[in-house]
């Protein structure tokens, strides 16, 4: 068997693993890998490299690719600043359970620890923001390490894995044989649930008078079949369904049992139903602080079932009555099967739905409109009306526009909503849209952005142009860092410290400078035509939609408050909410 360089072993292993796209940026410590990739493709290989303009963008593009396709995203960056620039995206992927393998160059092994040029302790830096990481010092171990890294990144709770490869290891030679199925000595996630726990969960569901299915991104990660099983479980139990930000699309927004998103900017009906439920079935979510609000006031009347493949997430934030460690897709399959096998009658939840109807009647997502000024909620709804039949993939940056998109853009299926949830990373949306477009070449991909967030990675306009990607960007431009300004208004007596964007670029001219089409929308009378013009153009388009500057994103649960302390669109409506809550609960 012929020996190969470490760089050639890496590229061959990536091919064996079915990798189609690598997002990266070259540098001295990875030049042997880039040369191997060049030779691989010149010989007919099929690994496409996407040259981003910043390493953070490479990681977010890999996240968008992974989230929209279900395949792991792959990143290749150099040592030192290349690796450290990738840390934000690596952490983002860890928080949101995105499968990603990040390959970083490192100085030669003889120079490690000497503060050599572009040296950084990548393994030490990423130890707490990866699922696992490696420093490979022997080319003979490189092939197995790569295969093991992909196994870890994609099995159990998905997440990012870093492989740090010194330059001399990339040049040194060894033999490579494609390994068989990976069986790690200690990492063996529990996929199937304990049968007795499934049966207990089904009995609790059948007996509950006020159940609610609380769903999260774990259902998306479990694949399309898990979303179908969720719909079936909802149908046979009659229980209402709500979701975290990351779980949107697991249950269709048009479904009759859909309550909308819950949590800090969730709907009134979702949060009140969580508060007054007698049984919460948590499926692939983690009871994070944006969902629970004040912990000692969270759902005080309910028993709680928690299904999660990550054992460490169970009882981490909220004590539960029935923990089930399993892949949520398998658990849903078992729950549906057992519910039907036991011939449980469909529970009578008429009184529960009557209460929910009262909360729904409040119409907590309604908003006032005056004159020709575009309300941001109206812009999102107009975008949905123009595109929903095409089942677009929506990415977002982070801020008010993100929450308005979550509230007003209804998702009918999984893998269509790509956003930064746990870390809340500004600059995520554009590179994520690029990754999603590469993974779904025929799809309509739209990044809903804010004028502040889009500038975090705006250089990636060049990446989209280079690879002829017809990505659309729809900026809600209110000239503020909107969510920061909202918090300053509500909690800092409207002292808008550094939240106003005093000097903004002309986004239309900026788009044109990069070769994109630029469109500006300045009033309601231009909204529909502007969106139509965006959709009619077959290349990349940036839309600068000027919206009301001081609109706040409601509903909102203030930080540290309970679900019953929601703030709504106006003080008058908030007063009505309080009365309604008293009448119903």
Residues carrying an active site annotation: 55, 117-118, 167, 483
What is the distance, to the nearest Å, from the Cα of residue 444 to the centroid of all Cα atoms in its chain? 18
Check: CB of residue 70 under 8 Å from CB of residue 227.
no
The torsion region of residue 539 among left (phi > 0), alpha (psi -120 to 50) and beta comes to beta
- What is d(CA 401, CA 486) in angstroms, rounded to the nearest whole number? 12
Check: CB of residue 194 under 8 Å from CB of residue 324.
yes
> Using alpha carbons only, what angle is made at residue 497 by residues 561 and 290, rounded to the nearest 5 degrees?
25
- What is d(CA 230, CA 141) in angstroms, rounded to the nearest whole number? 42
**Is-cis flag, bond preceding 555, omega within 30?**
yes
- What is d(CA 310, CA 189) in angstroms, rounded to the nearest whole number? 8
Instruction: Give the list of residues 6+ apart from residue 161 with CB closer than 8 angstroms, or none.
Output: 100, 101, 102, 130, 131, 132, 133, 134, 149, 150, 152, 153
- What is d(CA 197, CA 317) in angstroms, rounded to the nearest whole number? 21
Sheet-wide strand order for 73-77:
48-51, 21-25, 73-77, 100-106, 160-166, 132-135
SS3 readout for 322-351: EEEECCHHHHHHHHHHHHHHCCCCCCCCHH
DSSP-derived secondary structure letter, 366: -
């Amino acid at each position: 068997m012929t020996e190969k360089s470490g760089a050639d072993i890496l590229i061959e292993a990536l091919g064996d693993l079915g990798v189609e796209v690598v997002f990266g940026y070259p540098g001295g410590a990875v030049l042997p890998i880039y040369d191997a990739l060049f030779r691989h493709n010149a010989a007919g290989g099929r690994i496409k490299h996407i040259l981003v303009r910043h390493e953070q963008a490479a990681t977010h593009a890999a996240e968008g690719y992974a989230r929209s396709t279900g395949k792991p995203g792959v990143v290749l960056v150099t040592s030192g600043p290349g690796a450290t620039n990738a840390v934000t995206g690596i952490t983002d992927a860890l928080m949101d359970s995105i499968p990603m393998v990040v390959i970083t160059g490192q100085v030669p092994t003889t120079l490690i620890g000497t503060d050599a040029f572009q040296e950084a302790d990548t393994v030490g830096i990423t130890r707490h923001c990866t699922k696992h990481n490696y420093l490979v010092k022997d080319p003979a171990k490189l092939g197995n390490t790569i295969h093991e890294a992909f196994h870890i990144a994609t099995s159990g709770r998905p997440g990012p894995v870093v492989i740090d490869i010194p330059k001399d290891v990339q040049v040194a030679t060894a033999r490579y044989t494609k390994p068989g199925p990976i069986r790690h000595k200690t990492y063996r996630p529990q996929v199937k649930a304990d049968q007795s726990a499934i049966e207990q969960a089904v009995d609790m569901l059948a007996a509950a008078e006020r159940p609610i299915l609380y769903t999260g991104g774990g259902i998306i990660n479990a694949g399309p079949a898990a979303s179908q099983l969720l719909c079936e479980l909802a149908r046979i139990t009659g229980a209402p369904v709500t979701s975290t930000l990351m779980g949107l699309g697991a249950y269709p927004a048009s479904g009759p049992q859909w309550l909308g998103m819950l949590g800090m900017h969730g709907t009134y009906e979702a949060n009140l139903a969580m508060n007054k439920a007698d049984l919460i079935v948590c499926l692939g979510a983690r009871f994070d602080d944006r969902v629970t609000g004040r912990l000692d006031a969270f759902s005080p009347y309910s028993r709680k079932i928690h299904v999660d493949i990550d054992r460490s997430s169970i009882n981490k934030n909220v004590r539960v009555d029935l923990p089930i460690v399993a892949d949520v897709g398998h658990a849903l399959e078992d729950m549906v099967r057992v519910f039907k096998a036991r011939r449980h009658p469909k529970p009578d939840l008429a009184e529960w739905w009557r209460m929910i109807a009262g909360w729904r009647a409040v119409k907590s997502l309604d908003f006032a409109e005056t004159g020709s000024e575009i309300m941001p909620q109206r812009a999102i709804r107009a975008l949905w009306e123009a595109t929903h039949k095409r089942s677009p993939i929506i990415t977002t940056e982070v801020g008010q526009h993100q929450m308005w998109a979550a509230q007003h853009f209804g998702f009918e299926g999984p893998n269509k909503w790509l956003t930064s949830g746990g870390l809340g990373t500004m600059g995520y949306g554009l590179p994520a849209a690029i990754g999603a477009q590469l993974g779904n070449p025929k799809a309509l991909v739209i990044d809903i952005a804010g004028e502040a967030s889009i500038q975090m990675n705006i250089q990636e306009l060049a990446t989209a142009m280079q690879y002829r990607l017809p990505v659309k960007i729809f900026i809600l431009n209110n000239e503020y860092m909107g969510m920061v300004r909202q918090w300053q208004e509500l909690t800092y007596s409207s002292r808008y410290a550094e939240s106003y964007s005093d000097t903004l670029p002309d986004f239309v001219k900026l788009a044109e400078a990069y070769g994109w089409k630029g469109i500006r929308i300045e009033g309601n009378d231009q909204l529909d035509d502007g969106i139509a013009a965006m959709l009619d153009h077959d290349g990349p388009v940036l839309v600068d939609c000027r919206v009301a500057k001081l609109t706040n994103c409601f509903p909102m649960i203030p930080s540290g408050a309970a679900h019953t302390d929601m703030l709504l669109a106006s003080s008058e409506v908030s007063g009505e909410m309080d009365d309604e809550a008293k009448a119903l609960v």
